Amino acid sequence: MSLRWRWAVGLGLVATLAIGLMTVAAIVSVERRLRGALDEDLRGRANQVHELTGRLFEQREEQREEVLPRIVNDAAVQVFDEDGAVLLRVGPAGVTPPVEATDLDVVAGARPTFLRDVPIGDTLYRMITVRVQLRETTPGTVVAVQILADQSQLESNLAALTGRLLSIGAVGVLLVALTGWIMASRAVRPISDLTDAAEHVASTEDLSAGERLDLSAPAEIGRLATAFRSMLNSLRVSRQEQQRLVSDAGHEFRTPITALKTNLEVLRRQDHRLSEEEQDELIEAALRESNQLAQLAAELVDLTSDVRHAAEPIQDVDLGTLARELRSRYVRLPGMEVTVVGGSSVVTGRRTQLERAMSNLVDNGIKWAERRVEIVVEGGTFTVRDDGPGIPAEDLPHVFRRFYRSAEARTMPGSGLGLAIVDHLISANGGTVFARNSADGGAEVGFTLPPAEGGKPGDRVN
């Protein structure tokens, strides 16, 4: 069953329950009022009979039969004594009120005025029994008067009312169900659009389907449509990046593979004509190209790995400590001075990833420096300064792009992935990267992470 029909059926059931309860309450209330009115009418007629009872027995029978119908109208009247003997009966033929033990209790004074339902034939009557003491000619004589009223009209009215209320209730239930179906249709239309878009993406892999979604839906459904479109846009961007990565990687692999293949073919075809020194040069070149391919493959693995969900736990990391450990690797580098400025600067992240990012930044600084590289650690920021030529202004926005290499960098070793890996790792740890030229010359490249509690700048450490 679709969501539309579930809403319609659910609202219909709720409406049925509510309208049913209201109908029952209305019928019970009306029935009580009608029966109460009938009982009051019977009591009023009994009072009228009570006022005339003494004089009725003084009149002749034909006079009594003429007076009583005017008093009791369409009802039947019966008078009996303490022994149950009927003294007088006026009413429709065949309608004989029963005299039972409860009625004798009334005439004996053991029970007050008594009202009850009495079935006679196929008709249900309402009967009142009252105790009356005769006056005037027969003082001291006690009798009981019974008055019956036909309830057929009351039952007919109740049946008609019940039928009308049920009809109105049925129409109300249908209207509520129809309204629920219409509301559900409008509410689930964006969900249907999302379903169609998802099925379209699954069958065609066309990630542009999100652009056709209606984001104007209210509340949670609108948020869902917005989130779905954002997800598709992210997937589309990710696919474009993946395609660009594959294209760029293919281009970068092509050069060393071509050189390696050329060197190996020369060795195979011309090995008997080449001197030992020339063969050694070709082998060295082939090894360099092989190493470059291995490095490029390793960097591609690092760049495409899901570092956000790495198994390494997130912990407090002191950038100052890592910087000093990193400097010790370059202390014996000939012709290059590597210094560290700053003390403790504690951030939150994955230690191995941050260490790799810092190492790539120092390697990049050493590649461009003349003779000095300075590592600055302060307030969650790690900066590598070099005394090289700096970064051309047109290249600054692109230095963290994958495989991007400036005109000057193309003559130097490297794959163009080092800084891209830095951006990848730092972003996964909640930080940002930056690259700028120093006012004193050279470049400043680094990253900033939110400092953890306790991180603070320190003094210069060489």
Residue 451, in any domain of the structure = yes
| Domain termination residue (choose one: 128, 143, 158) | 158
Tens of pLDDT along 208-239? Answer: 666 666 666 666 767 777 777 788 777 777 77
Task: Give me the residues of the chain with pLDDT under 50, please.
Answer: 455-462
9 alpha carbon, distance to own chain's centre: 22
Which of residues 110, 126, 158 is at a domain's end? Answer: 158
One domain, residues 325 and 409: yes
The sign one gets for the Cα dihedral 357, 359, 360, 366 is positive
Q: Residue 232: which domain range?
A: 219-304
Contact 225, 215 (CB under 8 A): yes
Contact 125, 150 (CB under 8 A): yes
pLDDT at residue 66, rounded to an integer: 58
The torsion angles phi and psi of 142, rounded to 5 degrees, stand at -110, 130
Long-range contact set of residues 423-427: C-beta below 8 Å, sequence gap at least 24: 424/302, 424/303, 424/307, 425/307, 425/353, 425/354, 425/356, 425/357, 426/354, 426/357
Q: Are residues 257 and 398 in the same domain?
A: no
Q: Are 416 and 405 in contact (CB under 8 A)?
A: yes
The pair of structure tokens assigned to 21 is: 């309860």
What pLDDT does residue 240 have? 73
The first and second tokens of residue 270, run together, are 């011309």
Q: Do 265 and 333 share a structural domain?
A: no
**How big is the chain, counted in residues?**
462
Residues 281 and 323 in one domain: no
Flag whether 182 is in a domain: no
For 26-42, what is each residue's pLDDT tens digit? 889 988 998 898 889 88
Scan for tokens 């900066």, then name that residue: 383
Domain boundary among 304, 334, 368: 304
356 and 400 in a single domain? The answer is yes
Among residues 439, 325, 450, 448, the alpha carbon closest in space to that of 377 is found at 448
The total domain count for the chain is 3
Asked whether residue 453 is domain-assigned, the answer is: yes
What whole-number distance in Å separates Cα of residue 300 and Cα of residue 295?
9
Same domain, 402 and 323: yes
- Determine the Cα–Cα distance for residues 353 and 421; give it in Å rounded to an integer: 10
Residue in the block written with tokens 């590289």: 373
SS (H, E, C) 101-157: HHHHHHHHCCCCCEEEEEEECCEEEEEEEEEEECCCCCCCCEEEEEEEEECHHHHHH
